[in-house]
A and B are shown apart, each in its own frame.
Chain A
């Protein structure tokens, strides 16, 4: 056996199982392609919360109301500049989510605002059904809000949240509920996490009990109840059911990670991909590419020793530094899976970061180099059948511009179209 390798053949192999890889995977599978996806562990969707950003802020940090207009003014290095039609692709992205069972509010024509776990308002593009969304930050839609937490749940900092809203003229009262079933969870302080609370509520059918508690601590006089998003881990049905059981209009607000809506997005997108016949290689890593000139023929992974994954086209969607899609050592930044070219900032490490951590960090703009069609490059040569999508791309800072999910999804959809129209 040793020495000879067998090949598993697909139409397309996608490397990376986060938002970008799954979006490309679903879109290509919907077009009837045989797609394999290799994913090394779970993705940053787990930290993302219940909203997807397209472009929230300009270069100077001002909130944007009309992201499409601002996209036209972005500098040439930004990945959005490689999209044929941002507005149309944004519509396709929303439909992809919808078909995966992820209904959202919002459109690319106008941002709305999400509430962060620490009480700031941030411009965003799409927000999952049930999560709080505000049309205009200067006109808060609520007069008096009850902010309801679960006793001893630490990942929902109500003080910050209340302060944020009070600053905007909303009257806020903080309340807390407790159920004996949560008492159980508290025995292990490290495990009193959003996802575990969600599991306790869903497995024990505590919806009615929980809603009764909320109703009794809230009482009268509020026009909105805000709850931590600790419900709806496998589907949104239970989470919506709870909102309906509450006497006052109610919505969820993101908690600190792990994020239940993020986990749900991950699992529903994956489920959709599998239902379309996609092959998922979990917990595995691409370690080497097999090239024939400027053509990538196949990839080897850490676990499939003896088997090469072959395909007509490949998509690199491994994410940025946090996801190990990019790796930095003392001298340079490189792309570890296939060794493709990186747009870096040269050898002087001092230029990679700024001293003030709250400032925009230059290293965030490093990433994989691509041509106008999002083809990767190797030693300066454009690869004919290897594309890159998502936050592994160079040329944008998702923390500064609030464009992370948009870059992930829209570049993935553009790559899909580039492959299908070859």
Chain B
């Protein structure tokens, strides 16, 4: 026997590396609140052995998995537990997505429909009778507040107000804004442009941008997710060919396009993967290389508690955002213990998941109450909805905090 026997005997998603230690179970937020979920070890590597023999062993309870990947972060043996579970759902689930799931999953379609009617849609979505209809007919939990739809899409703002000014810069990046910035919260996109411009970078949109597909994967529509992913890849390739990094302001979009495209959807992204990055990471790396400098306002003060979003944790990138935030002199920084907030994209919107979703987040909400910050900082937009709804504390993306604290004139001078 030789070394090859050992090294070439690797199984898909490392599932044979599992030594049955059960550590993953300790950190699964779903296992913690419901015994009906088989837990990561059973749903993942253990169940996979059975499923490989006979697909009848597939258990629809796997849909309770949040795909938060906290099990993977905890596993001492690098078993890709979350990937095993999602791949099994894609391969074996016979459950067809309902109208509600399709609506929740198609974030960009619904956004496109809602945006022009935002002044009507926002109050209507908040009305008790409307919530009752959504709850009863659609299965969207009545306790949920829908994120507001913006009346002017980010893309429209950008094309009119920002795009013409971008060519004056000598360095350039492309921006994958994502559905949330486009339809719900264009301010984050504007903040991003403000910061990038201040450090001397012009911002450009991709030729074509589709929703990254995370909600489609979660709601059992991998084929559509793959189609959209291919569109994104084509646009990104063009951007990368021009020497642009492709930046986002969402940890989940980033994670999906860098890792899930390849692992779950079979999209070949190897040529662009390294160029896809989170804005905070891009900025911190430039600062560390001495290529840019930030200057902050002296009158800025804020107590900020940082929440590590699940996919941020999975990418291992939390320190990029926290180190960047800590550079702001006026910030009183609190690090929250890493815990899932419970929303997991569209998961927490579903009536059947609402209670579980709130139970999962409770530990985090208690921590926030105790820390009593002016705002919570996090890199994920769905965490923002969940935390704002559940604690009443405002939540900001680190880029928005940087934009707020930035002394734009001084920064421009430093980066001339």
Contacts and interface: CB of A to CB of B under 8 A. Distances in A.
A306 B31 contact: no
A190 B319 CA distance: 35
B36 A188 contact: yes
Interface stretch (A34-42, A51-59, A239-247): A34-42
Nearest to B245: A1
A176 B282 CA distance: 57
Secondary structure class of chain B's binding surface, majority of residues: helix
A9 B284 CA distance: 12
Interface in B315-356: 315-320, 322-323, 335, 337-338
A1 B275 contact: yes
A279 B322 contact: yes
Given A283-B73, A324-B76, A329-B3, A6 B288 contact: yes
Given A8-B319, A282-B338, A283-B72, A190 B42 contact: yes
Interface stretch (B17-25, B145-153, B190-198, B215-223): B17-25
Given A41-B75, A282-B73, A284-B316, A258 B338 contact: no
A203 B39 contact: no
A175 interface: no
B41 interface: yes
A236 interface: no
A1 B274 contact: yes
Interface string A308-332: 0000000000000011100001110
Contacts of A2: 274-275
A195 interface: yes
B77 interface: yes
A306 B285 contact: yes
Contacts, number: 144
Interface string B1-45: 111011100000000000101110111000111011111011000
Given A4-B289, A8-B319, A8-B323, A185 B22 contact: no
A330 B21 contact: no
Contacts of B285: 1, 6, 306-307
A191 interface: yes
Nearest to A47: B21
A7 B35 CA distance: 45
B contact residues, range = 35 or more
A301 B316 contact: yes
A274 interface: yes
A304 B316 contact: yes
Interface string A108-119: 000000000000
Given A190-B41, A274-B335, A46 B26 contact: yes
A90 B3 CA distance: 42
A261 B84 CA distance: 30
A43 interface: yes
A267 B26 CA distance: 12
A43 B76 contact: yes
B36 A257 contact: no
A48 to B, nearest CB: 12
A41 B277 CA distance: 23
B256 to A, nearest CB: 16
Interface residues of A, number: 55
A99 interface: no
A271 interface: yes
Nearest to A45: B23
Nearest to A275: B335
A169 B89 CA distance: 55
B78 interface: yes
A199 interface: yes
B78 A258 contact: no
A186 interface: yes
A303 interface: yes
Contacts of B51: none
Contact of A329 (B6, B25, B286): B6
B35 A41 contact: no
B74 interface: yes
Contacts of A285: 78
A320 to B, nearest CB: 12
Interface in B244-298: 245, 274-275, 277, 282, 284-286, 288-289
A7 B46 CA distance: 40
Interface string B38-75: 11011000100000000000000000000000001111
Nearest to B359: A203
A40 B2 contact: no
A303 B362 contact: no
A193 interface: yes
A359 interface: no
B313 A283 contact: yes
A193 B42 CA distance: 13
Interface in A1-55: 1-2, 4, 6-9, 36, 40-44, 46-47
Interface string A248-277: 000000000110000100010001001100
Interface string A272-309: 00110001111111000000000000000111111100
Interface of B: 1-3, 5-7, 19, 21-23, 25-27, 31-33, 35-39, 41-42, 46, 72-78, 245, 274-275, 277, 282, 284-286, 288-289, 313-320, 322-323, 335, 337-338, 359, 362-363
Interface of A: 1-2, 4, 6-9, 36, 40-44, 46-47, 184-188, 190-191, 193, 195-196, 199, 203, 234, 257-258, 263, 267, 271, 274-275, 279-285, 301-307, 322-324, 329-331
9 contacts: A2-B274, A6-B285, A190-B42, A196-B35, A203-B32, A258-B25, A283-B314, A324-B77, A329-B7
Given A190-B41, A263-B26, A307-B288, 7 more contacts: A1-B285, A6-B288, A8-B288, A187-B35, A193-B26, A257-B22, A282-B316
Q: Which 5 residue pairs across A and B have the least CB separation, nearest first?
A: A303-B316, A283-B73, A41-B76, A6-B285, A284-B316
